[in-house]
């Protein structure tokens, strides 16, 4: 079984930074894809960034140039460095991990950008 847990959310002022972490534990030998999604109140879940096992990354248009996705392979931990945060970045951020043909979601961590 695989467990996925996010951490690092919180309240930050516009223009500030936060780093989210996603730790995967359990049967994680074959992680082949990891991603961050977010969902704001009343909106659909939105793709934020993806990281494939080969190192390729992709970002949603709204976060390009401000957010950076990375991974610490030996620790099976993924990060999302978020800079120049805006109020519209306020959402619950979810970690998504694909292992073989299975996929797993974390419970989410709240990010609030407000003065």
Output the CA angle 36-24-59, nearest 5 degrees: 20
2-16, 27-41, 73-87, 90-104: least confidently modelled range: 27-41
CA dist., res. 113 & res. 104, Å (int): 27
CA dist., res. 84 & res. 75, Å (int): 27
Contact 66, 17 (CB under 8 A): no
Per residue in 45-99, pLDDT tens? 999 999 998 889 999 999 999 999 999 877 789 999 999 999 999 999 999 999 8
Q: Which of 61, 68, 57, 55 is nearest to 19 (CA)?
A: 68
**Mean pLDDT across 9-25:** 96
The share of the chain scoring above pLDDT 70, in percent, equals: 98
Is the pLDDT at 28 greater than 70? The verdict is: no
Neighbouring-strand partners of residue 10? 111
């Amino acid at each position: 079984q695989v467990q996925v847990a996010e951490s690092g959310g919180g309240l930050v002022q516009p223009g500030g930074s936060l780093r989210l972490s996603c730790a995967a534990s359990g049967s994680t030998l074959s992680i082949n894809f990891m991603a961050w999604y977010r969902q704001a109140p009343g909106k659909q879940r939105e793709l934020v960034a993806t990281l494939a096992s080969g190192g390729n990354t992709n970002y949603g248009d709204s976060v390009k140039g401000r957010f950076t996705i990375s991974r610490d392979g030996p620790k099976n931990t993924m990060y999302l460095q978020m800079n120049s945060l805006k109020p519209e970045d306020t959402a619950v951020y979810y970690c998504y991990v694909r292992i073989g043909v299975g996929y797993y979601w974390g419970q989410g961590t709240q990010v609030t950008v407000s003065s």
